[in-house]
Amino acid sequence: MALPLEGLSAIVTGAGRGLGRAEALELARLGAAVVVNDYGQPGRDGSGEASAGPAEEVAREIRAAGGTALAHTGDVADFGQARELVEAAVAAFGKLDIVVNNAGILRDRMVFSMTEGEWDAVIRVHLKGHFNTTRFAAAHWRERSKAAGGPVYGRIVNTSSEAFVAGSAGQPNYAAAKGGIVGLTTSCALALGKYGVTANAICPRARTRMTEDVFAGFEQPVDGLDPLAPEHVAPLVGYLASPAAARINGQLLVVHGGMVAVVERPRVQAKFDSKQDAFTYDELDAVLGPHYAQRPAQETFAAAEVLGLRRGGGA
């Protein structure tokens, strides 16, 4: 029996550790050949001997299990290095079918204390990094589609965050980047659909090196799988990358702890029309003032209730 991703090739960024590692292993388990990307160079182990970097270690793990993988240590936030990453996948496997954008960093701080560098670094790695790999993968799929005279196979799985959906007071840079990723995802879903490509975004909750401080107060269970283990997230990524998910496009899904929630698109909550050609200040006050007077003071566009989602709980 063929594996779901047999004959397909994939890139996973930020895959040397944590969530990206789990995703790369899952794609390989499902049959994909994987380019394991993680920024950095090989280092030294405790004895001072040269050691493989995280990307190569994961690639070796995949190969040891009978899969196909190679490591790439370029910076996906660099336009040229992202191009090289896509070219490396095509050169190694003949084509590229799946891109999982996972690479990211945190520079948490309240907005009134945040430095320009902390803002720029997070936007660069998360949002620009997602764009860079997507841009070159999309060009590859478009050229393949033109040559084939019809749709080809393409899957993009982007990584957003509950910080965007629910709001996160201490992460204005991260929340903004993750919101931008959702906009990038829905745009690509519309632009690339005719070429056979789907683009979806996930909001994962996982205990990784990047989020160890965020989830420091969440105890790990003595028995059983940690609800915050990356292994809860990886199967959804594998499914979205598969042929079975062909009808899932432009969607946002929250995933963690044995639970997947499909996030509904924004809906218009109220609409007001001016009595003249254009609204006046007084008329706006007359319609918007009473409307917001009846709503909870702390209610915003953010959906904080998403943070309460749990396996077995209500929607």
127 and 168 in contact (C-beta within 8 Å)? no
Label residue 40 left, alpha or beta by phi (over 0 means left) and psi (-120 to 50 means alpha).
left
What tokens were used for 155? 């899957």
Q: Which entry of 161, 168, 195, 242 is annotated as an active-site residue?
A: 161
DSSP 12-52: ETT-SSHHHHHHHHHHHHTT-EEEEE-SS--EE-TTS-EE-
Whether residue 168 lies in the annotated active site: no
Whether residue 281 lies in the annotated active site: no
Distance separating alpha carbons of residues 170 and 139, to the nearest angstrom: 36
Q: Which entry of 145, 174, 195, 242 is annotated as an active-site residue?
A: 174
Q: Which residue has the tokens 């957003």?
A: 160
Separate counts of helices (H) and strands (E) for the chain:
9, 10
- Pinpoint the alpha helices (H) of the chain: 18-29, 54-64, 79-93, 116-122, 129-148, 162-166, 172-192, 234-240, 281-293
Whether residue 242 lies in the annotated active site: no
Please tell me whether residue 159 adopts helix, strand or coil conformation: strand
Distance separating alpha carbons of residues 19 and 3, to the nearest angstrom: 22
Other beta carbons within 10 Å of 14 = 30
Q: Which entry of 128, 145, 160, 178 is annotated as an active-site residue?
A: 178
Residues belonging to the active site: 161, 174, 178
